[in-house]
Structure 1
Amino acid sequence: MISELSHYAGDRLFIVVGPEEEDRLQFQRLCESELWRSIEAVQAGRVHLLTTDWLYGDPISLEGQLAELPAVMQQ
């Protein structure tokens, strides 16, 4: 539930937005909500958008994610 997001949000948020138009629209609606804007990481600009490639958990994907993480953190 979106209403519970602020209870789990940390110093940084890593958000996976799917490739479909509905995914992007849903994320845009979230970004326009008062709840989203009240989250500390959002206010500080520490939100990182990721592709669905980050959802894979096999060893090769995890190695790639680990290698890519420093670049993501610089965004």
Structure 2
Amino acid sequence: MDITLTSVGASYNLKHRSVLGMLWLQTHFANDTWELICSGKVNLNRESSESLYSDATAAGLSVSMLPSVVLN
């Protein structure tokens, strides 16, 4: 797994899970957002998440869009 997009309400939390995922994200986002991406503090709307998923998988990365899980 290179990148995960985990559902958080109406958005998806973006996290890199491998060096390849981290490098790919670094080449696709502005430098001023990189610190937030590294710390896992970036949430994307559904449309942006689906676009990132399509682009990253087309580039050969392994990406997972995970639903939120509620434990009772």
User: Which structure carries more helix by proportion?
Assistant: 1
Q: TM-score, normalised by structure 1?
A: 0.31
User: Which structure carries more strand by proportion?
Assistant: 2
Q: Which has the higher contact order (CA 8 A, sep 6+)?
A: 2
Q: Specify the structure having the higher radius of gyration (Cα).
A: 1
Q: TM-score, normalised by structure 2?
A: 0.32
